[in-house]
Amino acid sequence: MKHEDSSWSCYQLSLYQHPTSRVGVCKQEILQKKNAVLVDGVILNGPIMDSKAGEKLVEEACKIIMEEVVQKADDVTEKVCEWQAPEKLKQILDLEMRDTGESHQKILQLCRDVIKYSVKTNHPRFFNQLYAGIDYYSLVARFITEALNPSVYTYEVSPVFLLVEEAVIKKMIEFIGWEEGDGIFNPGGSVSNMYAMNLARYKFCPEIKEKGLSGLPRLVLFASEECHYSMKKAASFLGIGTENVYFIKTDERGKMIPEELEKQVQRARKEGSAPFLVCATAGTTVLGAFDPLDKIADICEKHGLWLHVDASWGGSALISRKHRRLLHGIHRADSVAWNPHKMLLAGIQCCALLVKDNSGLLKKCYSAEAAYLFQQDKFYDVSYDTGDKSIQCSRRPDAFKFWLMWKALGTTGLEERVNRALALARYLVEEIKKREGFQLILEPEYANVCFWYIPPSLRKMEDGPEFWQKLHQVAPIIKERMMKKGSMMLGYQPHWGKVNFFRQVVISPQVSREDMDFLLDEIELLAKDL
């Protein structure tokens, strides 16, 4: 019901403008005209929010989003970032929160400033992370879920989004190659990896859920030297201990060496430890390497170990008939982490943990049976109340944006994105080989293209400590210059004894061959005086 009475409008207006005397006058009018109910001096009649003003704010803010974000998403003449030093940016944004609220016009200006000084990750020349670009269907889905503000734990409060999540998980399980399974969407691949580690431990010793760590043998898990750092964090968080993560040597391409895994499993057993988990990686963060899953699965079966595959980055290759061979053997895994927000552009965050077990292991491991949420005498099928499979209570409907995008594009459209990204990566590799001063780290098998740029002043230097020391300084200088110019963003890092090199990642369907050429031209331009 809308409250149109002038005295209510007067009170609402006072809340937005905060003139002390007017508040008192309005309160007096309400007390006289509306027989207002007061509790502790607070008027309880009617709403205290001005819906009309709020609707106008949302309308104007959406216009700003359309003009400054969506319509400029594929414009290469726009800057990728508007660099400002932290102290300067603090002043520009006016971060202080005060006793009295700001006007709507000030709020709208803040919205414009936030957009202006944020990194445009949807820009065709944002190559900095393992996510990029804009998908319009996913964006619409996010607008819907932000407006509805649901939480996905019970069917009664989130009927649509629970059914959507179930459908998406079922489809993802099919692409892994399992006949059945279970799963849940989580806030990040790191959380999915932690879930898997805890689930594997629970499977190994179910009593840990109630009795804790005391009395357990020393548990040991195995992961490659190239695994994501979340493995160490999960081991620390779960009380396993980082010293009990045995890192397995990798070959020159960054793939786990199965023979080394076998040696480490045997070593752990000889030490009296209890091995319980192997974490393989399908698409490492820096080099984009895929571990040999079939051979690793053989070892896991031999020793009775849970096999988890962190396919957060590389899992989307399963969508491509041409490139799914990269994950050959993934159907033998016990659990898989897969992030559609990366290669498939489902929007951060969109991350699933998929589990081969369909006997309710996830729920047995994580349930707390909160009686105020998961009543067993509800009037509908309570098997749809899936929230007890999660360590979270409130949980976002992240599967919805992937579902809406998949509905719009179809599997064929998603496959085209994967194939095009990897084709562009191959084009860039061939261009790097043609250009003086550019040197590949290795031939990529995925979308990670790693290379050095050797400026003219270093090209005739002898290979030695001084050369590598100087080359180590090149990438950070180029990165600083590109960010202050705003022309593009490209990541760099040292890695396993190699000095700083660039890691270019192709993801966005907005990226073109011209952008690949620009990337190389821009590096040459920014480094011409080095």
| CB neighbourhood size of 51 (10 A) | 11
22 vs 405 pLDDT, higher one: 405
Say what percent of the chain tops pLDDT 70.
Answer: 94
Structure tokens at 382: 């309570």
- What is the pLDDT at residue 19? 38
| 20-29, 138-147, 149-158, 261-270, range with the lowest pLDDT | 20-29
Burial environment of residue 9 by CB neighbours within 10 A (0 to 12, 13 to 18, 19 or more): middle
Q: What is the dihedral of CA 314, 151, 139, 417, to 10 degrees?
A: 20
Nearest to 354 by CA among 203, 218, 165, 493: 165
| Mean of per-residue pLDDT scores for the chain | 93
Which of 221-235 are b and which e, b meaning 16 or more Cβ less than 10 Å from the residue's Cβ? Answer: bbbbebbbebbeebb
Nearest to 310 by CA among 288, 340, 280: 280
Burial environment of residue 4 by CB neighbours within 10 A (0 to 12, 13 to 18, 19 or more): exposed
| Cβ atoms 206, 242 nearer than 8 A | no
Q: Compute CA distances 157 → 7, 161, 385, 388, 514, whole Å.
A: 36, 9, 10, 14, 48
Q: How confident is the model at residue 138 (pLDDT cuts 50, 70, 90)?
A: very high
- What is the pLDDT at residue 18? 42
339 pLDDT higher than 60: yes
8 pLDDT higher than 70: no
- What is the pLDDT at residue 207? 94
496 pLDDT higher than 70: yes
Mean pLDDT on 462-482: 97
| Cβ atoms 186, 353 nearer than 8 A | yes
| Cβ atoms 424, 418 nearer than 8 A | no
- What is the pLDDT at residue 33? 56
| Cβ atoms 251, 496 nearer than 8 A | no
Structure tokens at 502: 């660039």
Q: How confident is the model at residue 35 (pLDDT cuts 50, 70, 90)?
A: confident
Rounded distance between C-alpha atoms, residue 3 and residue 30, angstroms:
13
Mean pLDDT on 155-167: 97
183 pLDDT higher than 70: yes
DSSP labels, 409-466 = HHHHHHHHHHHHHHHHHHHHHHHHHHSTTEEESS--SSSEEEEEE--GGGTTS-SSHH
Secondary structure tally for the chain: helices H, strands E? 17, 14
Mean pLDDT on 347-365: 96
Q: What is the 3-state secondary structure (H, E, C) of 159-188?
A: HHHHHHHHHHHHHHHHHHCCCCCEEEEECC
> What digits encode the pLDDT tens for the residues 203-214?
999 999 999 998
> What digits encode the pLDDT tens for the residues 407-446?
999 999 999 999 999 999 999 999 999 999 999 999 999 9
Q: How confident is the model at residue 2 (pLDDT cuts 50, 70, 90)?
A: very low
Report the length, in residues, of the chain. 530
- What is the pLDDT at residue 21? 40
| Cβ atoms 515, 504 nearer than 8 A | no
Structure tokens at 505: 């990642």
> What digits encode the pLDDT tens for the residues 82-137?
999 999 999 999 999 999 999 999 999 999 999 999 999 999 999 999 999 999 99
Rounded distance between C-alpha atoms, residue 451 and residue 439, angstroms:
5
Structure tokens at 476: 């950070």
Residue 219's SS3 state is strand
Residue 61's SS3 state is helix
User: Sign of the C-alpha dihedral, residues 436, 439, 445, 446?
Assistant: negative
Between CA 80 and CA 391, with CA 405 as vertex, the angle to 5 degrees is 90
> What digits encode the pLDDT tens for the residues 106-117?
999 999 999 999
Phi/psi at 99 (5° precision) = -65, -40
- What is the pLDDT at residue 13? 45
Nearest to 475 by CA among 491, 498, 486: 491
Q: How confident is the model at residue 31 (pLDDT cuts 50, 70, 90)?
A: low
Place of tokens 């009649």: 45
Q: How confident is the model at residue 1 (pLDDT cuts 50, 70, 90)?
A: very low
| pTM more than 0.75 | yes
Rounded distance between C-alpha atoms, residue 314 and residue 494, angstroms:
22
> What digits encode the pLDDT tens for the residues 221-277?
999 999 999 999 999 999 999 999 999 999 999 999 999 999 999 999 999 999 999
- What is the pLDDT at residue 489? 97
Mean pLDDT on 483-498: 97
3 pLDDT higher than 70: no
Q: Residues with Cβ < 8 Å from 305, sequence gap 6 or more?
A: 222, 265, 275, 276, 277, 278, 299
- What is the pLDDT at residue 23? 47
What is the CA 444 to chain-centroid distance, rounded?
23
| CB neighbourhood size of 163 (10 A) | 14
Rounded distance between C-alpha atoms, residue 346 and residue 340, angstroms:
6
Mean pLDDT on 345-374: 95
Say what percent of the chain tops pLDDT 90.
Answer: 90
